[in-house]
């Protein structure tokens, strides 16, 4: 197996959080080439402790002092530039620590092995003696219970912390491509500052159970199988601890097993009926099984028991938003903000609520706030990209959506948003204008087409993606493909209230007419244009109708009808008609017998804002 294949498999293992396998593969690579900074960089994503991560990143810098990603990674660990270069103390020896082992001479290796063997024999004898005494002591204690532990309160001073409902930390993931192999850019390395994760809401010490602490470590790492094993061990030692059962439920829920999660939450509530987080967990698990579940009783009870359970307010806000009770949703989001003033989750929730209300400007501001509070929160990138797009901030929309899609590759709507940002289709009126006039010039058309292809591969019923792709096909002279996409998108229009009075209705039929024209289906295009004429209301719509239908008539050699349409075009207010259209009409009307225009559409005129559709043609 080549080194490149090994590296690909290691990166894939990191993406799947199979860190043991990733370390094994990277170890094999480092044995062959311990001076490769890429291997050390990915090893920093696979190791378990901050000290090991620091060691790997400092090795990258030793090999490449200008490596910005390694510097940013160390900054996230709280290590200043002045400290870089000083190896952390007490670093445990790992099998991947190739450099240290290679630095030893053969004689040193031999002497070291002898010393280690002697030490191992002595340590084994001591350990065996201790086990005998411990076993004897435990035998005397049976059937007595273990020494009672001091259970500290679960609350912390001030507003209570919260636990994260889903894994929001974007781990050490980068896209699998030739570029990513050369320059892996996990999101944590791109951050400019360290963001403190929100502490766990339930954090009861368990002095007797080391397994519980180990379970929490595995839980934080997303190592669900290990976490379950440790929590089950802790449960055997402390069967009356409701929080252990609760964390079992949380682990099952986060790993996608809601049925088992519900069993664990039920056990926690049997042990402590007033355990509010378990009620919240049960509500979330039921929603994952059935999004229409009535979980308000559980959420209301949880907040009655503990009015400071911030995440319950956020969860209830989502339910209210789905029920279109916007004011209640905003109240809960505001309450969560009071309890969690530094968390990104409340502004993220408010942004979603405001976006549903159509208040895109305030939604954009809230999304920016969430993004500023935690740049490792993947959902913040998604929402910031959407709100930036709707506010015309296309460059920012492209940037954050690109980062989002490097880590989340199954979001069809996000691919559609990204494509719209690439081809300047921010608001719906821009899409309508593109269907009537054409797309603005853009260097991102090829990439946008790839994004839309991906969106439709994930969700064939994504009508907005089909409409946007049809506009691209029209620019690429792919008329029949545009016809196919528009036909598939038609059901979207019937879902809109008063569709025939909606500006999108006319724009859709005009775009279909243009597509038929481009495909050479002239008779069908003429009929479709005549149907679209019934819905042309504004001067901008009439201008588009006269121009494109005139082209059909020219292709059908019905010059008198073309003359009629283009004469009507010139009677419209100049600011409503693109300059290229006016010139074409004037040229034809002056010398109609000498003007030969093909049926095929000419290059799309440059779009400029007008009073009706926020675009104005050049006078």
pLDDT in tens, 395-432: 999 999 999 999 899 999 999 999 999 999 988 889 89
pLDDT score of 181 more than 90: no
Distances in Å between the alpha carbon of 229 and those of 20, 203, 218, 243, 247?
A: 17, 19, 10, 15, 12
Q: Looking at residue 70, what is its pLDDT?
A: 81
Residues of the domain holding 80: 3-103
- Cβ-based neighbours of 520, under 8 Å, separated by 6 or more: 479, 599
Task: Tell me the whole-structure pTM to 2 decimals.
Answer: 0.66
Please give the pLDDT value at position 496. Answer: 67
pLDDT at residue 581 is higher than 70? yes
Lowest mean pLDDT among 75-84, 159-168, 453-462, 552-561: 159-168
- Could you read off the pLDDT of 24-68 as tens digits, one per residue? 889 888 888 888 988 988 888 888 888 788 888 888 888 888 887
**What SS3 class is residue 349?**
helix
Query: Lowest mean pLDDT: which of 7-16, 250-259, 507-516?
Result: 7-16
Q: What angle do CA 575, 579, 580 make, to 5 degrees?
A: 150
d(CA 414, CA 420): 10
CATH number at residue 84: 1.25.40.10
Q: At 154, is the pLDDT very low, low, confident or very high (cuts 50, 70, 90)?
A: very low
Interval 255-266 mean pLDDT: 96
CA 258 from centre of chain: 22
Side-chain half-sphere CA neighbours of 52 within 13 A: 16
- Write a three-state SS string for 492-511: HHHCCCCHHHCHHHHHHHHH
Indicate if the pLDDT at residue 573 is higher than 90: yes
- pLDDT of residue 173 exceeding 80, the answer is no
Q: Is residue 342 part of a domain?
A: no
Residue 13 in any domain: the answer is: yes
Band of pLDDT at residue 334, cut at 50, 70 and 90? very high
Cβ–Cβ under 8 Å, residues 610 and 617: yes
pLDDT score recorded for residue 319 = 96
The per-residue pLDDT of the chain, averaged, comes to 79
Nearest to 452, CA basis, from 491, 477, 482, 428? 482
- Residue 401 has a pLDDT of 96
Q: Is residue 29 part of a domain?
A: yes
pLDDT category, 283, cuts 50, 70, 90?
very high
> How distant, in Å, are the alpha carbons of 6, 113, 223, 247 from that of 568?
68, 95, 69, 72
| Residue 605 is assigned to a structural domain of this protein | no
Is the pLDDT at 393 greater than 80? The verdict is yes
Does the residue 483 lie in any domain?
A: no
Give residue-wise pLDDT tens across range 482-499.
999 999 998 877 776 566
Percent of the chain with pLDDT over 90: 52
pLDDT at 565: 96
Report the domain count for the chain. 1
pLDDT of the residue at 73: 78
Tell me the torsion sign for CA atoms 213, 214, 216, 217: positive
> Do the Cβ atoms of 58 and 84 come closer than 8 Å?
yes
CB 552 within 8 Å of CB 517: yes
- Encode burial over 389-414: b for 16+ CB neighbours within 10 A, e otherwise: bbbebbebbbbbbbbbbbbbeebbeb
112-137: per-residue pLDDT in tens? 444 444 444 444 444 434 433 434 34
Q: What distance in Å separates the CA atoms of residue 534 and residue 68, rounded to the nearest whole number? A: 60
Per the CB < 8 A criterion, the answer to whether 312 and 281 are in contact is no
Q: 615 has which bridge partners?
A: 610
pLDDT computed for residue 428 by the predictor: 85
- Residue 561: what pLDDT? 95
d(CA 483, CA 489): 10
Higher pLDDT, 578 or 204: 578
Band of residue 615 on the pLDDT scale cut at 50, 70, 90: very low
Residue 352 in domain: no
Reported confidence tier of residue 209, pLDDT bands at 50, 70, 90? low
**Residue 16 in domain:** yes
Indicate whether 212 pLDDT > 70. yes
- For residue 473, tell me if it sits in a domain: no
**Strand, helix or coil for residue 615:** strand
**Under 8 Å between Cβ of 43 and 23:** yes
576: which DSSP letter? G
Query: What is the mean pLDDT of the segment spanning 493-511?
Result: 80
Q: Give the residue among 486, 501, 598 at the shortest CA–CA distance from 552.
A: 598
User: Confidence band (pLDDT; 50, 70, 90) for 332?
Assistant: very high
């Amino acid at each position: 197996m080549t080194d490149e294949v090994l590296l690909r498999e290691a990166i894939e293992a990191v993406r799947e959080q199979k860190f043991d396998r990733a370390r094994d593969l990277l170890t094999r690579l480092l044995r062959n080439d311990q001076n490769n900074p890429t291997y050390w960089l990915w090893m920093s994503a696979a190791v378990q402790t901050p000290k090991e991560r620091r060691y790997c990143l400092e090795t990258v810098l030793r090999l490449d002092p200008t490596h910005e990603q390694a510097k940013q990674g160390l900054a996230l660990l709280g290590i200043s530039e002045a400290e870089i270069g000083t190896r952390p103390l007490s670093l445990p020896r790992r099998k991947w620590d190739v450099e240290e082992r290679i630095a030893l001479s053969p004689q040193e290796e031999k002497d070291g092995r002898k010393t280690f063997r002697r030490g191992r024999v002595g340590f084994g004898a001591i350990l065996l003696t201790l086990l005998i005494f411990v076993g004897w002591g435990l035998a005397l204690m049976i059937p007595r219970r273990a020494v009672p532990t001091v259970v500290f309160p679960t609350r912390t001073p001030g507003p209570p912390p919260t636990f994260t409902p889903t894994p929001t930390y974007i781990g050490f993931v980068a896209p699998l491509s030739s570029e990513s192999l050369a320059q892996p850019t996990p999101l944590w390395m791109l951050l400019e500052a360290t963001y403190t994760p929100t502490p766990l809401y339930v954090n009861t010490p368990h002095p007797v159970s080391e397994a519980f602490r180990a379970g929490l470590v595995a839980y934080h790492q997303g190592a669900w199988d290990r976490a379950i094993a440790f929590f089950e061990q802790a449960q055997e030692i402390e069967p009356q601890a409701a929080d252990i059962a609760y964390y079992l439920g949380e682990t099952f829920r986060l790993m996608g097993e809601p049925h088992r999660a519900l069993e664990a939450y039920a056990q926690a509530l049997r042990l402590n009926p007033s355990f509010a987080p378990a009620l919240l967990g049960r509500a979330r698990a039921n929603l994952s099984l059935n999004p229409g579940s009535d979980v308000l009783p559980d959420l209301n009870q949880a907040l009655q028991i503990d009015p400071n359970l911030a995440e319950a307010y956020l969860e209830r806000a989502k339910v209210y938003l789905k029920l279109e009770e916007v004011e209640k949703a905003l109240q809960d989001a505001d309450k969560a903000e009071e309890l969690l003033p530094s968390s990104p989750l409340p502004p993220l929730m408010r942004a979603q609520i405001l976006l549903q209300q159509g208040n895109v400007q305030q939604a954009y501001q809230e999304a920016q706030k969430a993004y500023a509070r935690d740049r490792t929160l993947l959902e913040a990138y998604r929402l910031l990209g959407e709100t930036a797009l709707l506010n015309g901030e296309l460059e920012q929309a492209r940037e954050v959506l690109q980062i989002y899609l490097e880590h989340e590759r199954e979001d069809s709507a996000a691919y559609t948003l990204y494509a719209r940002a690439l081809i300047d289709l921010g608001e719906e009126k821009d899409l309508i204008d593109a269907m009537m006039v054409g797309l603005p010039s853009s260097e991102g058309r090829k990439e946008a087409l790839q994004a839309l292809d991906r969106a439709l591969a994930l969700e064939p019923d994504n009508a907005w993606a089909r409409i946007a792709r049809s506009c691209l096909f029209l620019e690429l002279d792919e008329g029949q493909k545009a016809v196919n996409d528009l036909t598939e998108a038609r059901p979207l229009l019937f879902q809109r209230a008063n569709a025939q009075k909606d500006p999108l209705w006319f724009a859709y039929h005009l775009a279909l007419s243009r597509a038929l024209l481009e495909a050479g289906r002239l008779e069908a295009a003429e009929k479709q244009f005549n149907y679209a004429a019934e819905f042309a209301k504004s001067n901008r719509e009439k201008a588009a109708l006269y121009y494109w239908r005139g082209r059909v008539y020219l292709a059908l050699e019905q010059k008198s009808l073309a003359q009629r349409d283009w004469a009507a075009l010139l009677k419209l207010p100049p600011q409503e008609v693109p300059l290229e259209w006016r010139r074409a009409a004037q040229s034809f009307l002056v010398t109609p017998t000498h003007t030969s225009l093909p049926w095929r559409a000419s290059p799309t005129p440059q779009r400029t804002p007008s009073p009706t559709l926020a675009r104005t043609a050049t006078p």
